[in-house]
Chains A and B, each alone.
Chain A
Amino acid sequence: MRDTQRPSITYVLASDVGQDRLGARVRFAYEGETLNDEGVVRHEDGRKEIVLRYGTPSEMTRRKLVTLVRNIVKSAKSSGEKRIILSLDDLYGRCSSRMVSDPTDLVSLVITNIEMANYEFVAYKSKPKDGWKFLEEVVFVGTVRFMDGIGHGRLVGNGVNLMRDLGNTPAFDLTPRRLAFEAELASTGLPVKFRALGVEEMQTLGMGGVLGVGVGSVNKPCFVIMEYMAGPPDEKPIVLVGKGVTFDTGGISIKPSEGMEEMKLDMLGGASVIAAIVTAARLGLKKNVVALVPAVENMPSGSAIRPGDVLTSLSGKTMEVLNTDAEGRLILADALAYAGKFYDPRLVVSVATLTGAACVALGTHASALFAADDAIAATMTLLAEESGDYVWRMPLWEEYDDEVKGAVGDVRNTGKSGRYGGAIAAAKFLEKASVITHPWAHIDMAPRMTSADGDHLAKGAAGDPVRLLVRLLERYTA
């Protein structure tokens, strides 16, 4: 990947900053105070302030706190301010216990969101004469109780931004092999075992889904395997599976040209699980984690698969391809089968920009969550709410089984009702094609592929659900 041209932010915790006048101080508006436009206010005596409104106690929520923090960064950046001073003592005093659990939680949330809001993808842009408007230093005013969350928040934020960098990198520079290389690079120096299977190894194993989808591109497919085993040897791992379609043209069932440029982001599920396992290792979590990424490019060509072709998955199930643009589920079926075959996971989570139907269903503010198990769904929903990567559960009822029954093969890769219930049919396909028997949750992150209005994040990859995955690795106990 190219140089990101982003400086890393220095965080300072001070009990008192006295008359420090470098940078802008963040202050919350007094009751009745009228606010000017966003941005930094300069006083005649040289003081600079960022004044924002903090909601009334009854209307403030954790969600609004996230927005508030991002707004601070946005204000600083819009005025080219590189240093801000923020009182954590003040902020913590305003937060109710249902918003943040303790000082560490607050600091981690604040820093993660500062990192996310500071992010812009400028790797392919020329540096302006007056430089980039990134924040460089944040001075926190607060007691030592806020110390512990700083490192955590930064590592999580960096993990999210790693995923966004991978996603925003054009497909020309991020082929399947290149994605594998970046995953290896990110895990260098960490106790993460990296491996990538090539075409021949996948042929030996019988991964017909990945091979079939990848066969149309000159950029050969590969299968990334990352293992971070820092937990007790007898603890079953959590296996994260991420869709890594480095560019999705739709293949022979080619997509319309409008919006196709965003299809470089169709590997964000893969990038999320790579970022999550790397972050887990950086945090030194005492857990066993595996990340699997089937990486392919979906291209129309003389060698591409066609509608009507039947592929055999690693699971042994035959998959009838009715639409080559429903390719994500074909490669994920192999990966999920791999997870069951070579590990004995206590939980498998698949993450994928899988369906447009999930976007139609949920708009741009929540990823779709599928889990047959109510307890898993409840845990994931709770962790999602805490992390800021919001999800909404969708049904996986037996009534939908029929949608993916094949005529020529065991399963068909699009639902019989076409676009109706499309996200559900995709989840059903994964269930049936991979023959998954381990506890499983599936996140269709297509609605959260790019940042939404009101997120206060740079255009491009939004970063979901890296925070959720990290939190899951930290907290999941079943």
Chain B
Amino acid sequence: MKYTFTPKALKNKDIATVTLATTASDVTVRTSDGRTVIELGVGKREEMTRRKLVNVIRKIVSLAKAANKKKVALDFFDLVFPHLHMTPTELGEMLSTNLEMANFEFVKYKSKPKEGWSTLAEVVVLGKLGSDVEKAVRKGKMIGEEVNKTRALANTPGGAMTPAILAQSAAEAAEGLPITTTVLGVREMEELGMGAVLGVGRGSDEEPKFIVMEYFGGMPDEKPVVLVGKGVTFDTGGLNLKSDTNMYEMHMDMSGGAAVIHALSLAAKLKLQKNVVALVPAVENMPSGSSYHPGDVLQGMSGKTVEVLNTDAEGRVILSDALCYAQKYKPRLVVDVATLTGAIHVALGAHASGLFTKDEELEGYFRKLGEESGDYLWPMPLWDEYESEIRGTFGDWANTGKSRYGGAINAALFLYQFTKDEKGKEAYPWVHLDIASRMTSADGEYLAKGAAGTPVRLLIKLLERF
């Protein structure tokens, strides 16, 4: 999308002018001189919240599309709500990020309609704005575009998204940027003892890969932030095969991986002076003659053994190797992102991802980042009381809990075991985001169906500030 900035209103007939009205509903007005004015009803201005503003911005796109307009103009100061205490640059970034997100549709596999796609082509931002605001709008555009690339990757069908293709996509995302991308194959993983990734990947004809991306834009002695993303390119559940309704959308089970790949490449594009690593264990979880079985005991890179009680709880198994691999960077923070459990979806519905950490300060910090970025989080408990759920009978740790309750907590506590070093001490500060509840867009958020692109906006804010 193109953004142009001009201080005064335009009279062009091909541009729809958007104004915010204090009404409850929206009206599209055709003026006598043939112009289109869209009055977007936002209710009382003093009742606006940051969260509502995100939806207002996105709605601009859907109303413009409905009015068949390719260009919209809006007064920047119409979006300023003093009680929200947002700086103009903050608002500028939020504006373009969300316009980009709302304008995205995954049409790669559709035939182009005769009249073309209905996407918006240009946004004219009216108002006397400083160059810093224009810069913020451009930055927001970059963020929005990167979120959309994450969504496109996640939306790609399982047949066209194998571990090898995901690795190739990571390399493409890093192209032309100061990022070192290394992809470990089966032999390298065997040498490292990554029995967990290899075990889960065994059932598929598509070999597993372990993607390592490094962007060192910070001081050489600064310890990196390591992002770990689950990259199950398709999750059938394996021998514990999913039911037909649950298998739908499982091509998006690499959404965590896609998010960390694009968060890292965005960090490079924004030239952040930080050291960042992204790790993505990429596998396809298939039932076949060579699949791993319920009851198998896998030994991962940490040396600890994993008792597989259910082959469909495979995400935590591959992440265990990645969390152990992360230790070699002596990171100052590790954040893993995974579409991990149905239980988090039952717990939180579709409006928040689950946030797990033992560190209360990090919990508060991440919640705040969530509110600011729009990738909302809700904390969940990581209490010791739950640990007995995942103690193994024939292995060190079982990959599902003993009861059918608290599944997201059990999964998080499983991961926690692999954030410890060989002495049993926490090797690094750790945050786990279970994004299964936010894998796809929810009703009422004015985003296209399919992948929601969470939590790229949050991760980039984290990398900027932490």
A residues near B, CB below 8 A?
Answer: 63, 357, 359-366, 392, 394-395, 397-400, 402-403, 415-417, 419-425, 447, 452-454
A204 to B210 Cα, complex, angstroms = 69
CB proximity of A255 to chain B, nearest CB, Å: 15
Q: Given that A394-B378, A395-B351, A397-B351 are contacting pairs, would A363 and B401 also be in contact in the complex, using a CB cutoff of 8 Å?
A: yes
Please, which residue of chain A has its CB at the minimum distance from the CB of B410? A363
Task: Please tell me the size bucket of the interface on B.
Answer: 20 to 34
B389 within 8 A of A: yes
The 9 lowest CB-CB distance pairs between A and B, nearest first, are A363-B406, A421-B349, A361-B347, A399-B351, A360-B346, A365-B385, A359-B405, A363-B405, A420-B345
CB proximity of A447 to chain B, nearest CB, Å: 7
User: Please, what's the 1-or-0 string for B366-396, where 1 marks a CB less than 8 Å from any CB in chain A?
Assistant: 0000000000101011010110110000000
Please, which residue of chain B has its CB at the minimum distance from the CB of A424? B349
A423 to B388 Cα, complex, angstroms = 25
Contact B444 A400 (CB under 8 A): no
Contact A425 B349 (CB under 8 A): yes
Interface centre among A363, A364, A402 (most CB of B within 10 A): A363
A363 to B407 Cα, complex, angstroms = 7
B404 within 8 A of A: yes
B350 within 8 A of A: yes
A357 to B342 Cα, complex, angstroms = 11
Contact A420 B351 (CB under 8 A): no
Q: Given that A357-B346, A363-B410, A419-B346 are contacting pairs, would A447 and B351 also be in contact in the complex, using a CB cutoff of 8 Å?
A: no
B405 partner, pick from A416, A424, A447, beta carbons under 8 A: A447
B408 within 8 A of A: yes
Q: Given that A394-B347, A394-B378, A453-B388 are contacting pairs, would A420 and B443 also be in contact in the complex, using a CB cutoff of 8 Å?
A: no
Chain A positions within 8 Å of B389 at CB level: 363
A421 to B351 Cα, complex, angstroms = 9
CB proximity of A83 to chain B, nearest CB, Å: 31
Please, which residue of chain B has its CB at the minimum distance from the CB of A393? B379
Contact B388 A395 (CB under 8 A): no
Within 8 A of A (CB), among B401-425: 401-410
CB proximity of A256 to chain B, nearest CB, Å: 13
Please, which residue of chain B has its CB at the minimum distance from the CB of A59? B384
B343 within 8 A of A: yes
Contact A421 B346 (CB under 8 A): yes
A416 to B386 Cα, complex, angstroms = 30
A403 to B376 Cα, complex, angstroms = 18
A395 partner, pick from B51, B344, B378, B404, beta carbons under 8 A: B378
A416 to B350 Cα, complex, angstroms = 11
B352 within 8 A of A: yes
6 contacts between A and B (CB under 8 A): A359-B405, A360-B405, A360-B406, A365-B386, A365-B406, A420-B349
B184 within 8 A of A: no
CB proximity of A368 to chain B, nearest CB, Å: 9
Q: Beyond the given A363-B406, A365-B386, A453-B388, could you list 10 further A-B residue pairs with CB under 8 A, ordered by the A residue number?
A: A360-B347, A363-B401, A392-B381, A394-B378, A395-B351, A397-B351, A399-B351, A400-B349, A421-B347, A422-B346
Q: Given that A363-B389, A394-B378, A454-B388 are contacting pairs, would A421 and B348 also be in contact in the complex, using a CB cutoff of 8 Å?
A: yes
Chain B positions within 8 Å of A357 at CB level: 346-347
User: Please, what's the 1-or-0 string for B264-295, where 1 marks a CB less than 8 Å from any CB in chain A?
Assistant: 00000000000000000000000000000000
